[in-house]
Structure 1
Amino acid sequence: MPRVLSYTPPWLSRGAPGFDVFNQSNAKGKGPYRPGSGPARTSAPGPKRTIANRGNEIFVAVGNEIRWANLLHLKEAGQEKEKHGFRKSWKNSPGIDTRGELDQVYRTLKTNVSGQITELSIAPNNDFMAICTSHTVHIALLPDSAHLVSDDTGPIRLKTFHLGPTSHVLDSSPLAAVLWHPLGRHGRCIVTVTSDANLRLWEFNRDNRNSFGEPELSIDLKKLASGVDSMEDFQAARIDDKSGYTPDSFEMEVASACFGATSKVNSRGWNPMTLWVAMKNGDIYALCPLLPKKWEYPSLGRPFLRSLALPVQARDQISGHGDDDAFDQQTSDQQREWFAGIRGDLDENPRTGELLEVYTRPVYPGPIPRLQGPFIFDPDVDVDDSEVTDIAVLNPTNDAEAEDEEDAGRDDPPVSIICVATNQGKMHVCLEFEGVEGEWLPMESATGIIPLYDCPLLQRFETVEFQTKDGNEVSCHPIFTADAKGGASVFVSTETGVYFVGMTGWVRPLYDELSNFERDGAALRIEAILRGAGSLLESIVHYRQDQYGDRLSSTAACVAMANVELGYFLLASEGSQPHAIIIDAPDSDYYADGHPVVPYEYDEVTGPKLPEPWPAYQPPQSLFDFQSQLPKFMENVPERHKFLLKEEIRMSTATLNILTQAHRVLVNETQLLGQAASSLFTRCQRLQDELRDQLRKANDVANQIEDITGEEEATQEGELTGSKKIDARIEQVKAKQKELVERTERIRQKLSKAGTRELSDKERAWFAEVDRMKAGLLDSSPPEEGEEPTPSRRLVQIRKLKDDLLQQVHQLGTEEPAEKKGDDEVKVPSEFRKKKVQQIMELLDRESAMVEAATKKLRRLTVASGGY
């Protein structure tokens, strides 16, 4: 469970410079709130994605105006404002020239977008931004951050391109989803889905305006759902095309769409190229693979392709060729043909310099995949009486920022967590165990047999209910926001607040069980996990509607940020009021290693209960944007009756008519003022009660501290209390420590003596002999008469004898024979002489070997005796 550290900081509260970024009163085309002037026109109910972030920078859409600000600069400006007096108005502080500082708070980004902006979406490479209205999409080229913080604080006109000027216009169907493709080359691929089930994939280039006019791929999902072979025309209809009524027009009304993985980092399998589409009636479809002509992946993308190819190869080895496996065999053949057509080249990212692998989409089996679905829910899931508002697909193992070395080599189970939100304030959490793979329609067959496909199943895990209906009125339109830290958790934004849904408690055990190869008892363990504790639901932000008289004020969906400068930061807005939450979410709490959630309070009953943070009181927006209609009424009084306003009141028909009309004007204004005053009075009373509780808790903590460190006397029973008790405990611990050290020393001495024993007579004689041998080896003096020579002396004599013999042999071998020899000389044959010399050399070698062996033995004995 995320622990909230603090709510909206002072630098985003009213009066601070950060508040002006969200203020709607000074927006272009957005006048102040006028009570009694009629309801405001809204494009669609529910929160809008009108806040986008690029690191610490935020882009906020207020009406049809876009504002840019840096949260770090807002924080510094708020701290600077506190130095000059936070209670004074930011615009009316006397003696302080805030004009220059106010211009630095935010910058206005001008565009040619007409109409109220409903969504802002930043491209993956942070260089483009999609600006969406209810029917149109504009792609804006974002300037660099250094250019936005320049000295020139005036408005900046963005260079924008109308995406699909003949496709996304007011005459066509409204937009249901605008998504950046996670594998788009240089982040310049976007997918648009309209409510009439028309999907378009755009690959644009700022140097080619034609790329913004026509989509690279256009698909009509209604035609694709009933398609038989890939040779049919599945292109989305244009504005001029006339189409009659079909049942699919009602059944396939798109509510939202999302990709199976929002980032290509650490993503595996088919997830980043799988588009999930949710219909308003509850049907869910999958489109895989949906790829542009050129798609990229980091240079280490070979494991990504390997994760796609290995299941195909494994299925080819175990699949049969019977009639029951005809569809599987066809899918395997198509996937194998698709893999064979992939071609890759190395490319460098022009912004980051990262080395990328750019792949070309295969020509066969075709760019349009088969529409898989609808996915069948469990019979106990009743979605007929509700309307789906948004869909989110989670893959915790794929979206993790860091993985252990052991987990990196482990194959993740093909399990996807599909979350579906409905307008009844419920979220259905479903599991898809089979995994979505690439499938295509078959080529036109000569047999003419129409293939039949089985609808995949979705296993419902639980239903989370975070808001109920007010009577019979459905006023909830939740949308999802991905967690900045990844993992199995999402944020849900509604008209009444922001909720956190954490699923790590059961997702991690389930993934570990499915990744384990131990099959014995697996079904029982998985069933126990599914029946165990469910997801964690926590209300993070609660919009207090009693503060706002205008219930039609726009609500912005939250954005989650996690960085070093801001920490774990959550930002949303309701009307002109920003709401920010600073959350303490360490890895050991609810994101990593499957440990249980760390509670905010101590487990001990006697431990101090820390007070929970409480959002600061925000005055009603209607008080600041209030403009009385009474002066306008006074001007519209007829001339013949204006004299009655300056005289004493007289009972007449004209006077009664004027008072009646004035009452109609003032009744709404006084009612709003009364509600604001009542709310302030109620909160003041609540503040007093909370202050009493805080004082009581502080008194309890002070008593506990006094009991621990206070100077109190001994009780009647002789027990010590306060600091004396602590000092006695410390002395007792010191004495115990000293006793343990002494005991350890005694044991060590006993162990050292336990390893020694007395020597026997033979051991003493052997060591004496070794000592004599050692002395003999060191003594090389010549022996006396009658004394036995030592080994060293014998070695010296042998070496001397060897040298003499070698010298004599050398002389005999080099001596020339005499010219004349007498008859009496003994003649020795040369062969005999050589043989004798050879014998002598062998004897010398043998003697040398014996000497060396004796030397080595003596050296070993010397080492052994010395080591002892």
Structure 2
Amino acid sequence: MCLRRSDLIVAVGNKLRIMSLMDAKADEGKGTYKTLDTSIIHFEILEIALSPTEKMLVIGGAHHVAVVVLPKPGYSKIISPELKCRCFAIGPFFHSSPKASRLARVDWHPFGEGGASLMVLTEDGTLREYNVFEDAEEPKQTVNLFPPSLRNSRGYSMETPRRAVAFAFGWGRDDWSSLTAFCLTNKGEVFSMCPFMPKRAVLPVSVVQQLLKSTEMSLKSVVDDTSNPQPALEARYQQQLKYVKTLERQLKQDNKNGKRKAASPQKLQLSASGPKAGEAGFTLPTTVKSMVVAQGPYRIIPESPELDDSIESEATDLIYLVYDDDTSDPLNILGIAWDNGRVDICLDLDRVEGMWIPDSAVRSQQEAPSLFLYETIDLGIASELASVVPSKSTTPYLDGMDHNCPVFVRDPVYPDTLYVYHNYGVHCVIIRKWLSSLRAALSKDGDELSAALKEAKMSEVACMVSTISSVYEQPHDVTGLVIVHDVYLSYGLLVITSPLKLIASELNLRVDSLRDSTVASSLPEGPGTPNKRSQAYVSLLGRAPFQLPDLFTRTDNIPAASAKPAINDLRTFGTQAEAIEIQMSDFAAEANRVQDRLILQRKELERQLGTLVVIQKKTKEVMQNGESILQPRLAQVLAEQKALLKRADKVLQQMMNHAQPTITEAEVEWIDELERMEQEFDGNEDSLVARRDAVQWQIVSIEAELKRLEVQDAVLGKSSVRESGIGKSQLAAIDQRLSLHPG
């Protein structure tokens, strides 16, 4: 399941269904779906992904990949229940053959030009890029995300074979993260390849500029350090600088030319308008002749704990998050999901760098790349199953753990929130509590860093949807999740289960200033401020609790006399008598203070009892007369509330229609015709503008030739008249005679 603005797309078997949530809400939830006519899709759809331009949809099966061109807005007004859509297969020779590796994941590269770079990962670790505009059968580039040492290993092993299960693309502000592809295996191993970018990409200009600056500084620091020469590291930085310099030259040439070559009509229809502000188009550099080497597997420090020793868990999904508020260095986060409900939150502190095959020796001499494990989250799937299922016998619940596949979903509103859906429900993970404190801790050194990390908070985990029931029955697996974030449709999540039941849940928007305003409004008002409401009840005892005096709690109030006092020592006796007299007066004063407190408590008790009697009396009156008075009022309030909500929806829809009205089918055809005419007039070498310029040039050349011929004809005419000696009148008579006798 995926969401295109307000259109919900669901894959059922080998069919695609699409429905407009706008129309469903306007019709009070009675929306209807339409089926996309995709004749070439004869396989079971296992995953779908929407292109960055939201005009194409990639479909992945076990051994098949296809791309569907989605219908334009306004399709819901078509009467037919089926919509014809263009659909074409991707790389059938590489993926549909009997010996082809099974597909692991399909998705679009976020930096692909026009949103046309489709990435296909197979279980053998091979990542292929297809440009759906140019060639859908042959990949533009093919890389293997496993190191050669792991790919070339042979032999029999009792261990589970290594399979690639997911990939993710990095993003950064001033490092190589934007040009990095990460890969996850079923054993939880993480590999990376840097640099990696589409053949034709659109990158932020600031990334290239910052990358060039940081690479030059790194190279300069290594060259200037003559006391500790590092030729291998210097060679690596030279290659990085050569790579980035190529991107810089493309940027300068692009700015010099003004604009790129015009795209074909097909590309103009399916792609976006072009690079946005602050972005530019680039081509994959080929100046570095060496091949990019895969790095990994990453060392996870400390080693992640197992939740259940009896079950061999496998990793299922990978997500890459970046927390960047432009105040300090960004924090790169990698999330790994496991089939037993474990989620590992890792920090990428080493920052991967570009590395080619000649530099593999440098990496082998150094430590392997590492990830810092910040926390391990237990979603509690196994414990909840254990509380529901009486025994660990073969049950539908426990059998579902064998094919459980948790998947990450980003929150489009809050970047510090992600969702994990699995066979047994949906969980929400919020990491914002420890992001700021962790970034402050990373700026410290030594013991301060260790102390700050120990005091750092953990992520917030909440169960949003649970399909685990206390009744022993066949469970309904969760198969899809989308986050709705629209002004008219509100902010919430939609969950679909295996029997095609849709579960909707509204989410709350964060309002940080709400608590402060609530506290301010609850503060007591000043004596000069008018207040129409009744004052809040204030206790006579105050807020601070009463404490007994020290004289009532101490055990050494009376000083002990000496063991053997002198018989005639009247001075000692008088001193002790005086001390006892002083303590007795202090004791009497404190006793009076306790007595006053007791009297005040009695008054407060009488006051509370009186207030309680009044409340009880009012409650009794309400209970006696409430059924006849409050019930009609409550029904009236509910009816008015429903009417107001319906009216607010209509007003909001009218405002949205005025601001961004939905175009009709005729308007869609008119816009397409205008685009076709624009392309025909000024689109390529065969356009009308080009033909007009060619005709104008031909007219100018013909006019010049005509003037030359007129001058030549005038000269030849005069000379012929002079040579014949015949005048005009004689020539007219000859012409007349010839006309009378044509033979």
Could you say which TM-score interval applies, normalised by the shorter chain? 0.5 to 0.7
- How far did residue 522 of structure 1 move? 7.0
Ranges in structure 1 where 5+ consecutive residues have no aligned partner: 1-50, 82-103, 228-233, 235-242, 398-402, 590-596, 606-704, 726-868
Structure 2: gaps spanning 5 or more residues: 263-267, 387-391, 523-532, 538-603, 616-743
Aligned to 1:308: 211
1:435 alignment partner, one of 348, 351, 354: 351
Please give the alpha-carbon distance, in whole angstroms, between the structure 2 residues aligned to 1:462 and 1:276. 20
Q: Taking structure 1 as the reference length, what is the TM-score of the superposition?
A: 0.52
Structure-2 residue corresponding to 1:66: 16
Q: CA deviation at 1:563?
A: 2.5
The letter of the residue matching 2:181 is L
Partner of residue 168 from structure 1, selected from 95, 99, 106 = 95
* Distance in 2, Cα, partners of 1:555 & 1:716: 59
Contact 1:386 1:424 survives alignment (8 Å): yes
Q: Match for residue 131 of structure 1?
A: 59
For 1:157-306, what aligned pairs fall within 5 Å after superposition? 157-169=84-96, 171=98, 172-205=100-133, 208=134, 211-222=135-146, 224-225=148-149, 252-261=162-171, 269-297=175-203, 301-306=204-209
Q: Is contact 1:482-1:491 (8 Å) kept?
A: yes
For residue 509 of structure 1, what is the aligned residue in structure 2?
Answer: 437
1:563 to 486, 505, 515: 486
Give how far 1:220 is off. Answer: 3.2
What are the within-5 Å matches in structure 2 for residues 9-20 of structure 1?
none
2:367 is paired with a residue whose SS is: coil
Provide the rounded CA distance (Å) in 1 between the counterparts of 2:355 and 2:362: 18
Q: Aligned residue for 2:78?
A: 151
Offset, 1:249: 10
Is the aligned partner of 1:317 residue 2:220? yes
Residues 588 and 168 of structure 1: CA distance in aligned 2, closer, same or farther (over 3 Å): farther
C-alpha offsets along residues 497-535 of structure 1, whole Å, 9 cap, x if unaligned? 100011111112222454x6xx5x675156424543211
How many angstroms apart in 1 are the aligned matches of 2:177 and 2:363?
29
Q: Distance in 2 between matches of 1:71 and 1:367?
A: 51
SS in 2 for 1:178: strand
CA 1:502–1:367 in structure 2 vs 1: closer, same or farther (change >3 Å)?
A: farther
SS at match of 2:210: helix
Q: Which has the higher contact order (CA 8 A, sep 6+)?
A: 1
Distance 2:49 2:350 in 1: 32
**Aligned-residue offset at 1:453:** 4.9
Structure 2 counterpart of 1:488 = 416
Task: Note if 1:377 corresponds to 2:313.
Answer: no
Deviations 1:222-280 (A, max 9, x none): 464569xxxxxx9xxxxxxxx9758799664112111124xxxx865333321111111
> Deviation string for 1:23-56 (max 9, x for gaps)?
xxxxxxxxxxxxxxxxxxxxxxxxxxxx111111
Amino acid in the other structure paired with 1:73: D
Where do 1:361-760 residues align within 5 Å? 361-366=284-289, 368-382=291-305, 385-397=312-324, 407=326, 410-413=327-330, 415-442=331-358, 452-469=365-382, 470=386, 471=392, 473=398, 474-475=401-402, 476-514=404-442, 519=444, 524-525=448-449, 527-545=451-469, 549-551=473-475, 555-575=478-498, 576-586=500-510, 588=512
Secondary structure at 1:528 match in 2:
helix
Paired residue total: 496
Q: 1:462 Cα deviation (Å)?
A: 1.1
Say whether 1:340 aligns with 2:236: no
Partner amino acid for 1:339?
V
Q: Output one character per residue of 1:160-218: Cα deviation in whole Å (capped at 9) or x when no partner.
A: 1111111112622221111211110100001111112122111221xx4xx11111111
Aligned to 2:2: 52
Q: 1:192 to 1:323 in 2, by over 3 A?
A: farther
CA pair 466-366 structure 1, distance change in 2 beyond 3 A = farther
Shift of 1:715: 10
Query: How far apart are residue 602 of structure 1 and its match?
Result: 10
User: Compared with structure 1, are the counterparts of its residues 717 and 425 closer, same or farther at alpha carbon in structure 2 (3 Å cutoff)?
Assistant: closer
| C-alpha distance in 1 between matches for 2:139 and 2:145 | 15
* Bigger Cα displacement from structure 2, 347-356 vs 363-372: 347-356
In the alignment, the residues of structure 2 paired with residue 717 and residue 531 of structure 1 have an alpha-carbon distance, to the nearest angstrom, of: 47
Question: What CA distance in whole angstroms lies between the structure 2 residues aligned with 1:376 and 1:131?
Answer: 34
How far 1:585 moved relative to its partner? 2.1
**1:388/1:421 contact within 8 Å kept:** yes
Paired position in structure 2 for 1:636: none
Amino acid at match of 2:139: P
Change (3 A) 1:719 1:223: closer
Q: Which residue of 2 aligns with 1:594?
A: none
Q: Whose radius of gyration is greater, 1 or 2?
A: 1
Residues 777-799 of structure 1: per-residue CA shift (max 9 Å, x gap): xxxxxxxxxxxxxxxxxxxxxxx
Amino acid of the structure 2 residue aligned with 1:420: I
Amino acid at match of 2:425: G
Q: 1:568-599 CA distances to partner (integer Å, 9 max, x unpaired)?
A: 2211111221111111122539xxxxxxx979
Report the CA distance shift for 1:504/1:716 in structure 2 as closer, same or farther (over 3 A): closer
Of the structure 1 ranges 368-377 and 523-532, higher mean CA displacement relative to structure 2 is found in 523-532
- After superposition, what is the alpha-carbon deviation per residue over 1:454-475, rounded to whole angstroms, capped at 9, x for unaligned? 3112211111000343548544
CA distance in 2, matches of 1:450, 1:274: 17
Distance 1:281 1:717, change over 3 A: closer
- 1:347-362 residue pairs with structure 2 within 5 A? 347=260, 351-352=272-273, 355=276, 356-362=279-285
Going from structure 1 to structure 2, the CA distance change for 1:567 and 1:366 (only over 3 Å counts) comes to farther
Question: Matched residue of 2:92: which SS?
Answer: coil
Aligned residue type for 1:434? D
